[in-house]
Amino acid sequence: MNTETQQLPNSTLILVFGILSIVGCCCWGVVGLIFGIVALVMSKKAIETYNANPGIYSGYDNVKTGRILAIIGIILSVLVLLANLVMIVLYGFDGIEEMQREMIEQYGG
């Protein structure tokens, strides 16, 4: 009987993309959304691979953690994206730039 296990394909990459989806939500929400969706798609394939033959693969914990982080990242990214869209609709780009200038003058020195 072969007791050696092999790393589940893309398990580390899924974890990294899950982390990047949370960090990426700060970039108007778009970057986080992209990384989160990619991580979810990759984790779905990895889970199917693992479930087909769980005895030969390791790294399933990375896939589960990456999937959870991707879901959190997607939720945060959608919230940030919606907040930014509301700001654009209410104030427009010029209004946002003016608010940024006022904040820099007030807090930046």
User: The whole model's pTM is what?
Assistant: 0.84
Q: Which pairs with CB-CB distance under 8 Å and at least 24 residues apart come from 31-37?
A: 31/77, 32/73, 32/74, 32/76, 32/77, 32/80, 33/73, 33/74, 33/77, 33/78, 33/81, 35/70, 35/73, 36/70, 36/71, 36/73, 36/74, 36/77, 37/70, 37/74
Collapsed DSSP state (helix, strand, coil) of residue 53: coil
Confidence band, pLDDT 50/70/90 cuts, at residue 82: very high
Alpha carbon of 91 to those of 83, 84, 87, 105: distances in Å? 12, 10, 6, 19
Has residue 67 got a pLDDT over 60? Answer: yes
pLDDT reported for residue 96: 86
Q: What is the mean pLDDT of residues 96-103?
A: 90
Q: For residue range 8-49, list pLDDT tens digits in order.
A: 999 999 999 999 999 999 988 899 999 999 999 999 999 999
